[in-house]
């Protein structure tokens, strides 16, 4: 895998996709302090830290950077290019080279920015990065089977359904759930 010595910065027409930095504190605080109530059971707003102090942000960011440095996990925040608002995040994880040449992708967009194309725009760019810079051949998404908006996003970026993994993971720490598996490949 290509060494991740300098920060990954990806740009789309409307977004900048990059790791968190200490300069992002104000955007982090603004977003977390003003989160609307969760709109549905897949809205992850409730999972964010309640401590929006600078110390709390450093702890939040430290976890992100620690996992990113392992080179098996890339955690990128999605920012609006014009306003520098934090819109959500996208992750590549379980990055494997060798005979696998694959990674998993996960993503979320904060509810005020749903249905505006930011998730699609960011995911397409990160998949392009995975294929063309990291030289991966397969990207998978495992999506809770009733998360229809996420399934639509995966399909809109060219991912195809491959099946269901039963009792795959604990969801929100409560119960094990089935997930649908989607993938996109580059030959």
Please state, as a whole number, how many other Cβ atoms lie within 10 Å of the Cβ of residue 27: 19
Q: Which two tokens stand for residue 37?
A: 């109530």
- Say how far apart CA 23 and CA 41 lie, in whole Å: 31
Higher pLDDT, 32 or 86: 86
The answer for residues whose C-beta is within 8 angstroms of residue 91's C-beta and 6 or more apart is 73, 74, 75, 76, 105, 106, 107
Angstrom distance (rounded) from CA 72 to CA 103: 9
* pLDDT-based confidence at residue 121 (cuts at 50, 70, 90): very high
Give the pTM. 0.87
Q: What is the mean pLDDT of residues 75-79?
A: 94
- The pLDDT of residue 69 is 57
Token duo for residue 25: 């504190």
Contact by Cβ (8 Å): 95, 103: yes
User: CA-based diameter of the chain, in Å?
Assistant: 46
In the chain, the N- to C-terminal Cα span, in Å, equals 18
Provide the sign of the torsion angle of the four alpha carbons 141, 30, 35, 80, taken in this order: negative
Q: What integer best gives the mean pLDDT of the chain? A: 88
Give percent of the chain above pLDDT 70: 90
**pLDDT confidence of residue 143:** 94
* Local confidence band at 147 (pLDDT 50, 70, 90 cut-offs): very high
CB within 8 Å of 40: residues ≥ 6 apart: none
Quick one: pLDDT band at residue 54, thresholds 50, 70, 90? Answer: confident
| Distance in angstroms (rounded) separating the CA atoms of residues 69 and 73 | 8
Identity of the highest mean pLDDT range in 87-96, 118-127, 166-175: 118-127
Domain boundaries, the chain: 10-136
Indicate if the pLDDT at residue 17 is higher than 80: yes
In angstroms, the CA 123 to CA 130 distance is: 10
Mean pLDDT across the stretch 96-124?
94
The SS3 of residue 130 is helix
Fold classification of 10-136 is Aminopeptidase (3.40.630)
């Amino acid at each position: 895998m290509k060494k991740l010595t300098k920060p990954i910065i990806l740009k789309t027409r409307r977004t900048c996709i990059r790791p968190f930095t200490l300069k992002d504190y104000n955007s982090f605080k603004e977003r977390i302090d003003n989160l609307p109530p969760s709109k549905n059971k897949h809205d992850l707003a409730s999972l964010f830290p309640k401590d929006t102090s600078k110390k709390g942000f450093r702890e939040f960011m430290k976890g992100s950077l620690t996992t990113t440095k392992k080179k098996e996990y890339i955690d990128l925040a999605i920012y609006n290019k014009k306003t520098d608002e934090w819109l959500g995040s996208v992750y590549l994880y379980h990055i494997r080279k060798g005979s696998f040449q694959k990674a998993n992708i996960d993503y979320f967009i904060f509810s005020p920015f749903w249905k505006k194309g930011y998730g699609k725009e960011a995911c397409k760019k990160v998949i392009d990065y995975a294929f063309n810079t990291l030289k991966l051949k397969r990207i998978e998404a495992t999506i809770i089977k009733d998360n229809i908006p996420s399934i639509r996003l995966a399909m809109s970026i060219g991912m195809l359904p491959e099946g269901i993994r039963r009792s795959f993971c604990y969801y929100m720490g409560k119960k094990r759930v089935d997930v649908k598996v989607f993938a996109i490949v580059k030959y």
